[in-house]
Structure formats: C-alpha cells, structure tokens
Amino acid sequence: MIATLGNFSIWLSLLFAFTQFVSSLQKNNKKIIKFNTIAAIGLLLFSMLSFLCLIYSYIVSDFSVSNVFQNSHTTKPLIYKISAVWGNHEGSMLLWILVLAIFNFFIFKLYNKINFSFVTNSLKIQAFVTLGFLFFTLLTSNPFEKIFPVPENGLGFNPILQDPALAIHPPLLYIGYVGFSAAFSFSVAILLGKDKKLENNILLFDCMRPFVLAAWTFLTIGIAFGSIWAYYELGWGGWWFWDPVENASFMPWLLGTALVHSLIAVKKKKILQKWVLLLAILSFLLSVIGTFLVRSGILTSVHAFALDPSRGIYILAFIAIIGTYSLTLFFLNSKKFSDKKYVTFLSREGSILINNIIMIIVCASVFLGTVYPLIIESFTGNKISVGEPYYNSIVVPIMIPALIVMGVGPLLSWNDINFTKLLKNSFPNFIFVFINTTFFVWIFGSFNIFGLIGIILFSWILSNIIFTLISNYSLIKSLKALNKNKIPKITNSMLIAHVGVALLILGVTASSVWQKEKIIRMKTGESIKINNYQVVFKELNEIKGENYFALQGKFLVYDKKKLLITELNPENRIYPITNNSTTEAAIHTNLKRDLYIVLGDGNSDKGRVIRIYYNPLVIWIWIGALLIFMGGLISMKNNYNPSKNSI
Amino acid sequence: MIKKLLAFPLILFFFIVSIFFYLLIIERNPSDLPSALIDKKNT
C-alpha cells in the first residue's frame, strides 16, 4: 500500500514538473504565476512523500518492494535501514529528485516583478532537468518495483556502507551536485534573457549566488564525510585516493570554488559575467557526468555502486541534450556579456581571476586523469590506469600558486594597488610566516621540501586572515561610532572559510609528509615502537555484533614514560547475510596526531599482519572542512533574499 | 577569434560524449581496466 502510494507520488511529481515546464512556456503572466505556484509546491510535496514512503518501506522491512529486498535485512540496525534508502542506485535517484524539487522551490520563492521572466525561464529549465531525472527513475530505476512471491527476508546491505559517516555523506553530496542545477538553470535563463542593460543583468547574477554557495558548501562537507569514511573504513591510513568516484565530486567542487569567487567579482566590479555563465553550466554538467561515470559501469571504482550500461545510455543522452543546448546557447548569446574591462594583476579581482584560471587547470588535469584510460581504450584498445603519482605530481604543484594568491587576496583592494605599498603592508605577515614555519618544522624535527611549502602556505593564509581581522576590527570600531547598520557581515564568512582552508592545508601537509607506517607480522604478547609510542598486541578475541561476527584485537598503547595512553580494538568483521568481510581500523585521535591500527590476515602460529600508522594533525583536515562549511552557511544566509510577497 | 574560442567548450563536450557513447555500445568489461586502488584493496 505504502509502496503503491510512493510510486503514485513519483508519477504525480512528474505531472507537476511537466505542468511547471509547460506553464513556463506561456505568454500570459497571470497563468504562469498560478500554475507555477501549484507546480512548485506540488512537486516538492509529492517528491517528499515518495521519498518518505521509501524510507517507511525500509523501516518496516517491506520485502515486497524489490529495492528493499535487494538492500536490507530485518537484522540491520535502524540507522542503516534508513541510510540504505540512498545507499543504492534507485533510492539515491529518488533523493536526487527530492533535492531538485527543494532547489526548484527556493528558485520559485525568488519571484518578484523585476525578475519575473528570468525566474520563469529558470523554473522552465529546472523543470526540464527534473523531468529528465523523473523519467530516468521511472523508466530504468523505479525504487518501488514489486516482487512476487514476497521473500521472507532481504539480501542485506553492503557492509562497508554501514557506517555513520556514510549515512549522511550522500545526502550532503547530492545537495552539492543538485545545487549546481540551480546555477545551471539561472545561467541558461540569463543567456535566454533579452534585457541588454548591464545593471539589470547584474541583479540576475546576484540571484545565482546563494544557490552556488549552497551547492559548494554542501559539496565541501559531503566530500569531507566521504573522506572521513574512506580514512577509517578502507583501512589504508589515507583519506584521499584519487578514485574516479572521488574525482567525480572533486571536479565540480573545483569549478564551484571558481564560481563562488567569480560571482563576487561580478557583483563588485561588474566583470567576468561570461565566465560565470560558462562555469555555472560546466559545474552542473560535471556533476551529471560524475553521476554517469559512477552509475554507467564505464569505469571501475572501489565504490561505484551501480553498474548498468542501459542506464548509462539514458544518462548520456540526457547529458548530451542539456550540454548541447546550454553550450550552444552560450556560444550564440554570451557575446552580449563581454565587458571589455581589463583586470589589474595586483588587485582583488586580479587574484580572483588568477585563482579561477588555476582551478580550471586543476579541474582539467583531474578530468584528463579520470577519462584518459577511456580515451586510450577507445582509440587503441589498450587498457591503462592513471594512479596517485599522476595526480600528486600535477595537482599539488599547480595548487601552490593558487594558495599563495588566496592568502594575498584579502590584502588587496578592488582597484589597482601599489606593489611597494603591498610589500609594506605584508611585512608583518612575512615575520609571522617565518616564526610559525620555524616553529612547526622544529616540532616535526625533520626537514622536507613539500612539508616546508605546506607549512609556509598555511602560515601565509593564516597570517593574512589575522591581519585582515585586526584591520577589520579597527574599521568596525570606527563604523560603529558612525552607524551600526554599515558593519560588513560578508567578510566574516570569507575569513572563517579561509581559516578552514589554512587548517586543511596544515592537516593535509602534516599527514602526508610526516606520516609514519609500520607493517609487520605480530603474535599476541609482542610489541612494536612507532614514533614515541609502544604498541603491545595484548590479545585476540571473537565477538558478535548486531548483524556480524568479528575478530577483535586488543592493543595497548604506551607513551615514552610507559604510561598507558589508550586501548585500541581493530576488527575484522564477517557479515553472514551478505557474506562480506570488512576491516575496521581502530583510531586514537587527539589534536596532535592519530594512532591508527589495522588488523590483517594471519593465524596464531605465524602471527597476524598488523598495519600501524602515526598520522600527524589529521583532525585539522576535518576541522578545516567544518569551518569552510560554516563560512559557506553564513554566506548563504547573508546572500539569499527571497521576495517578501513572492508574487 | 573570440567567437571561435566560445565554440571550444562545445567541441570538447561533443568529443567526450562521443567517447563515452562508443564505450557504452561496444562489448567490453570495465573490470578489465587496471585500477591501482582496487589492486591495493586486494593486497
């Protein structure tokens, strides 16, 4: 019954999306408003209802629904019954549609008399994109498909996906991917617009900003959660592996970063409009291409969860339609957005432009690395793979100038700046960088050129934020004396996000450069030293979890004063329902380092393979990502201005 | 010249989509593609 209601709700969502698309083609403004109000609300309500129906089917273990049978089991904990809804292809498409409907509703709320035709065009494009995904779901991936006879129990859920971080990772990521659909719709709507007045067009670009910020912010935290999951679940001691699935989320993030900053330049200096239009289109196309790569079976990946070429053909056809339409429109209509203004190198807009170019180069390099095996295969038939050495040797050196520019950006004004004045202003920063870098190199006690560069970049960005804060504080103090309302809010979000980037660089640098690894065979009772810690393999026990059996190691960690620091219990789990095994790393975290132990194969006679990692400052990667997320949220709040009387 | 540059994303897009399409319609096994990460996982 509930499954039938869910299925019916998807069809109703399709009807409302179609209504919105057709009504947006009308010439009569009153009719458009009337139908679009019904359509936007109806689409949101029914896509939400269908999603809730699927969640309910999972909670009550309704195995008459094929999707529940394929991905759930009665013994599964409730949280994983719910997260299994979006942990499979069909359910995740339903979530994708729900997020599309939410963004559609927020676009609808922007309606006012000035932007009427622009919002109507945006809703038309958004409805078209939603229709594409609704048809895809109904024709190839219906999550409410029934099976008969009804099985007594389900097949279970992939154990490596049964994890708290992965329970929230996909929804966050989808908000990011789908958020770019709003930027895409706005971009196409601007290109379709007939108004040639620059001031009016700048207002339209302003509408795009909170949606891009939402997409980029949630994509950032979504990627971070995926990375946290990979860190402790895959058991390799690392947090980023340049897997195609990771690259699929990283590429739109890079373009999103460029887009977020370019929109500031559009607002402040009325430049880069054409560039923003292209970035908005490409960000969404890359999000959908990422989905295609993961779900079509065209590439192999450790966590590609749906491999079906027939679905691939559908998504590719959809990409071809929206890509051809939007890029042709860009080719034909973008000329009117040429600003013919020159950007000075030593200015804030100059720093934004340089960062944009670098982000594009990095994105192109990652894209090339991801699709290069496919290009080679289609032309020569040879099968090759592109691994970590390619990405590390290309991406890291290109990102270094971007981070230097990011650090100097807030120091620059929106106009031309005198180089001597800049140097003079930066003098305290150089002193801070020198002291901070010396301190960190002394702490780690070993010299490494990449480590040194990373710490300099971290110190450079941090110093600029500190000195910007000091000068902002003096500015605010003087503004407060004049008029309270003029206190700038937006720079705070930028500063928080940039502190996040600085901490992220610190964590990435320290955990990559100064990581220590020991892989040895150990018997119970034996011990090993890593950094200043003594790790003792105390015992090995068999334990039983809610839906798994496990071998659990007991490791005692002592510091150099022989004081017990912690007990770590890595596990090797076996899930009998799905007949899968997983490795659960045990990690002891503090602000300085992670101690990371993985229990490998072996037996009591020869001992077991134990991997122990000492990872310095890893936690700062996650704290940095969280700060970027918070900065993005604050900026979103400051930039979203729905019409009070929407129509 | 600028007009030609504006067509570049479109041309690149067609090139990429054509490759994807070709790989979808031919008989192939994607797991034949070597994957450094999957190899790492199996060791």
CA distance B10 to chain A (A): 6
Residue A303's closest chain B neighbor by CA? B38
Mean pLDDT of A5-21: 96
- Which of A299, A308, A374, A391 to substitute to test the interface with B, most B CBs within 10 Å? A374
In chain A, how many domains are there? 1
Domain annotation covers residue A252:
no
* Short-list A19, A213, A14, CA closest to A108: A19
Looking at residue A490, its pLDDT comes to: 53
**pLDDT level of residue A458 (50, 70, 90 thresholds):** very high
**pLDDT level of residue A269 (50, 70, 90 thresholds):** confident
CA A498, A500, A506 angle in degrees (round to 5)?
Answer: 110
Residues on chain A touching B35 (C-beta within 8 angstroms): 300-302, 385
Q: How large a percentage of chain A has pLDDT more than 70?
A: 94
Across A377-381, A555-559, A607-611, least confident range: A377-381
pLDDT digits (tens, 9 = 90+) for A574-583: 888 778 888 8
pLDDT digits (tens, 9 = 90+) for A131-186: 999 999 999 889 999 998 888 888 877 777 778 888 888 899 999 999 999 999 99
Output the pTM of the full model.
0.90
User: With 60 as the cut, is the pLDDT of residue B36 above it?
Assistant: no
Token pair belonging to A573: 């789990």
pLDDT digits (tens, 9 = 90+) for A318-367: 999 999 999 999 999 888 887 777 777 778 888 889 999 999 999 999 99
d(CA A641, CA A623): 29
Q: Which amino acid is at A161?
A: L
Beta-sheet strands, E only, within A455-606: 516-522, 527-530, 533-544, 549-558, 564-568, 571-575, 580-584, 586-589, 593-603
Domain that holds residue B11: 2-38
Whole-number average pLDDT of chain A: 87
- Count CA atoms within 13 Å of residue A321 on its CB side: 11
CB contact under 8 A, B37 and A299: no
d(CA A455, CA A403): 12
- Which of B12, B15, B19, B20 to substitute to test the interface with A, most A CBs within 10 Å? B20
d(CA A407, CA A404): 5
Give the residue carrying structure tokens 């195995």: A63
Tell me if A441 sits within 8 A of A453, measured CB to CB: no
Tell me if A235 sits within 8 A of A585, measured CB to CB: yes
Longest dimension (CA), chain A: 83
Looking at residue A489, its pLDDT comes to: 56
Residue B9's closest chain A neighbor by CA? A327
Domain annotation covers residue A82:
yes
CB contact under 8 A, A285 and B22: no
CB contact under 8 A, B20 and A301: no
d(CA A624, CA A632): 12
**Residue A331 contacts B where some CB pair is shorter than 8 Å:** yes
A298: three-class secondary structure by DSSP = coil
Of A316, A371, A387, the CB nearest to B24: A316
Mean pLDDT of A100-110: 93
Q: Which amino acid is at A316?
A: L
Q: Is A198 or A104 the better-scoring residue by pLDDT?
A: A104
In chain B, how many domains are there? 1
Residues on chain A touching B36 (C-beta within 8 angstroms): 385, 387-388
CB contact under 8 A, B30 and A335: no
How many helices (H) and strands (E) chain A has is answered by 17, 10
- Count CA atoms within 13 Å of residue A430 on its CB side: 6
**pLDDT level of residue A625 (50, 70, 90 thresholds):** very high
Residues on chain A touching B42 (C-beta within 8 angstroms): none
d(CA A14, CA A16): 5
CB contact under 8 A, A302 and B19: no
Please state, as a whole number, how many other Cβ atoms lie within 10 Å of the Cβ of residue A330. Answer: 24
pLDDT digits (tens, 9 = 90+) for A492-523: 788 899 999 999 999 999 998 899 999 999 99
pLDDT digits (tens, 9 = 90+) for A582-603: 888 999 999 999 999 999 888 8
Domain that holds residue A15: 1-162
Tell me if A297 sits within 8 A of A372, measured CB to CB: no
**Residue A461 contacts B where some CB pair is shorter than 8 Å:** no
Q: Is A612 or A480 the better-scoring residue by pLDDT?
A: A612
Across A15-19, A295-299, B12-16, B19-23, least confident range: A295-299
Looking at residue A243, its pLDDT comes to: 86
Residues whose CB falls within 8 Å of the CB of residue A585, separated by 6 or more in sequence, listed in order: A232, A233, A235, A237, A570, A596, A597, A598
Would you tell me which residues 1-40 of chain B have a C-beta closer than 8 angstroms to some C-beta of chain A?
A: 2-3, 6-7, 9-10, 13-14, 16-17, 19-25, 28, 30-38, 40
Domain annotation covers residue B43:
no
Residues whose CB falls within 8 Å of the CB of residue A269, separated by 6 or more in sequence, listed in order: A341, A349, A414
Residues on chain A touching B9 (C-beta within 8 angstroms): 278, 281-282, 327, 330-331
Chains A & B: contacts with CB separation below 8 Å: 90
Residues on chain A touching B22 (C-beta within 8 angstroms): 378
Domain annotation covers residue A114:
yes
ipTM for this model: 0.86
Domain annotation covers residue A536:
no
CA distance A334 to chain B (A): 8
